[in-house]
Amino acid sequence: MKRTLSLRWRVSAVFGLGLVLVVSVLSLATWHLTTGYMLSQREQSADRQSQVNVRLVEAAIRSRPDSIDELLTGFSTGPDSTILVSRAGGWRTTGRPIGPETLPPSLLADAPARQRFTADGIPVLAVALPLSDGLYVELYPLLELEKTFRYLRVLLIAGTVACGILGVGLGAWSARRALRPLTTFTEVAARIARGDLRARLPEQADPDLAPLAATFNTTAESLEQRVRRDARFAADVSHELRSPLTTMTTVAEVLDRRRDTMPAPAQKALRLLLAELHRFQRMVLDLIEISAADRPDPADDRELVDVVPLVRHGVAGGPPPVLDLDPEPLLVSADRRRLDRVLANLLDNASRYGGGAVRVAAHRRDGVIRLEVDDAGDGVPADLRERVFERFARGVHAGRRDSGAGTGLGLAIVADHVHRHDGRVWVEDRPGGGARFVVELPEAPV
């Protein structure tokens, strides 16, 4: 049950079952008390009436024996009642015809007796009292009492079911109220996970929730300060390295122009130095780019960007992949520079690790603009498809240090820029082999 039902519905089910159990116990108690009391009252009334009738029959036997039949007819209380009198001459019956053979044996003893049973399909209460020379038996119909019992039974069952439904509703309402802070906590934690480090829980008046909110906000504040401190450190280091790195690269390129005059070992060392300097320069530029990920975009940086011409411009200058573009404009509200960087990094990743881009597509689908970049490589293993978007993650190429190796920051920059635009990015298998990197961005309203 825990695996299939959420916490809210488990609480609702417990409320409903608990209320059904309580109401069932009360209903059973009410049933037994009510039916017992009503039967007791009916039996006492029948005993009193039978005793009065027996005295009248005894008096009639002593004074006018021939008037017994007329007297018994007057005792009848309805068409379903029956009176049987046993004397030396046999049985006399009045009312609904019920033979003495249908009476339970316990009623035919020479002692007062009372018993409920069904006579010809009608529930009756039989009272047997001895006479001086016989037996008096009167059958009182219980139809009205049985009807009352049925009504009471239906009422109690319906009330129990209604209370169970009410308990489920009350449990759902209570769970929703009780879990509302947890829902807020989940939303704020999700915002922080998406990169909104300024998200905080509202202050709680509840003394049980206030410490949790305060601790969470303190942790989020510490995390924000640490991330911003690390970002400032990376930005400061990158900016500080940029000038000497540019100088070193310039000097190395000057030496490279005179490489023919150098000995062979020096030429090889110079080639290695230039490759590492260029790789280091790309890393510094990527660090500067990614260190700005936590800074909010100025409002005036957003504009309506048509993805179709952006893709056509982005793939120009290299081996042309197959373009699969919608004929209509695909508009997104975005920072054009960041979108250019997203496409450039995806194409660069395909060139370095996937044998080059073979297809670039842009389509409209369910309110989002979908950008796809397919490569001709071996694809990305399933266990690395999330890690490739982490910083300094280079997947199966982590050991490469040649001039064509990347810095491990390109896809991280893609993920940061896409998430900044409230979009999604992932990698999947391309039909026919290779990897397909997919970016989805919300479509801008026209």
- In this structure, which long-range contacts are made by residues 39-45, counting pairs with CB atoms below 8 Å and at least 24 apart in sequence? 39/145, 42/125, 42/140, 42/142, 42/145, 43/114, 43/125
299-442 has which CATH code?
3.30.565.10
Distance CA 249, CA 300 (A): 36
At the top level of CATH, the class of 210-291 is mainly alpha
Average pLDDT over every residue of 75-104: 82
| Residue ranges per structural domain of the chain | 7-148, 210-291, 299-442
Beta partners for 113? 128
pLDDT class of 393 with cuts at 50, 70, 90: low
Please say whether the beta carbons of 292 and 318 come within 8 A.
Answer: no
- CATH class entry, domain 7-148: alpha beta
- Name the residue with higher pLDDT: 23 or 300: 23
Of the candidates 208, 212, 190, the one whose C-alpha atom is nearest the C-alpha of residue 199 is: 190
Q: Please check the confidence at residue 400 and state whether its pLDDT lies above 80.
A: no
Tell me the C-alpha distance between 279 and 288, whole Å.
14
Task: Report pLDDT for 1.
Answer: 47
Query: Does residue 8 surpass a pLDDT of 70?
Result: yes
Closest CA to 286 of 390, 402, 408: 408
Q: What integer is the mean pLDDT of 292-315?
A: 77
Contact 159, 22 (CB under 8 A): no
Contacts from 80-83 at CB under 8 Å and sequence distance 24+?
80/122, 80/124, 80/141, 80/143, 81/138, 81/139, 81/140, 81/141, 82/119, 82/124, 82/138, 82/139, 83/53, 83/136, 83/137, 83/138, 83/139
Query: Both tokens of residue 7?
Result: 């916490």
**Predicted confidence (pLDDT) per residue in 268-283, tens digit:** 888 888 888 777 777 7
DSSP 78: S
**b or e along 281-319 (b: 16 or more beta carbons within 10 Å of the residue's beta carbon)?**
bebbebbbbbbbbbeeeeeeeeeebbbbebbeebbeeee
Which pLDDT score, from 0 to 100, does residue 133 have? 80
Report how far residue 286's alpha carbon sits from residue 61's, in angstroms, rounded to the nearest whole number. Answer: 123
Please say whether the beta carbons of 76 and 53 come within 8 A.
Answer: no
Average pLDDT of the chain? 83
Choose the weakest-confidence range: 34-38, 330-334, 388-392: 388-392
Q: What is the mean pLDDT of residues 128-143?
A: 88
The predicted pLDDT at position 405 comes to 55
What is the Cα–Cα distance from 96 to 78, expressed in whole angstroms?
A: 9
Predicted confidence at residue 433, as pLDDT, reads 87
- Of 217-226, 268-277, 331-340, 380-389, which range is least confident? 268-277
* Residue 211 pLDDT exceeds 80: yes
